Amino acid sequence: RMGAYGEAQKDLTFFLENFKAHKLAGNAQYWLGETHYVRRDYKAAATAFLDGYTTFAGSSKAPDSLLKLGMTLVIMGEKKTGCDAFAELSSKFPDATQSVIQRAEIERQRAGCL
């Protein structure tokens, strides 16, 4: 919130390197992706969100990570892969929060996914 994304990235990376099994590691991974995303480092963001989705599939932030992965891929020009991520979100996480489901639908339409 304060815009200290570099410092947040450093702290989140430290947390993940030292506490990968912590119950909040999935949340930390998601927020690490956000530090890259807001600074438009989309390649690093995509990597972080993919890791958040795959490594921490049981985390409450896994659906959010998949949503942001799709958004990031679309921004990077990988429309089909981004659309695939949105579709996977719907199939793997039908019970995701309404805000995630709604945002995925908005982003799917924005990207022109079929």
Q: Which amino acid does the sequence have at 70?
A: G
Q: Which amino acid does the sequence have at 46?
A: A
Each residue of 63-89: pLDDT tens digit? 999 999 999 999 999 999 999 999 999
Report the distance separating Cα 28 and Cα 11, nearest Å.
9
Neighbouring residues of 8: CB distance < 8 A, sequence distance ≥ 6: 31, 35
Q: Which of 7, 47, 6 is nearest to 30 (CA)?
A: 47
Report the distance separating Cα 61 and Cα 37, nearest Å.
16
Rg of the chain's alpha carbons, rounded to an integer?
14
Residue in this structure with the two tokens 């410092």, named with its chain if needed? 7
Each residue of 18-63: pLDDT tens digit? 999 999 999 999 999 999 999 999 999 999 999 999 999 999 999 9
Q: Which of 38, 36, 59 is nearest to 47 (CA)?
A: 36
Cβ atoms 32, 13 nearer than 8 A = yes
Record the pTM.
0.94
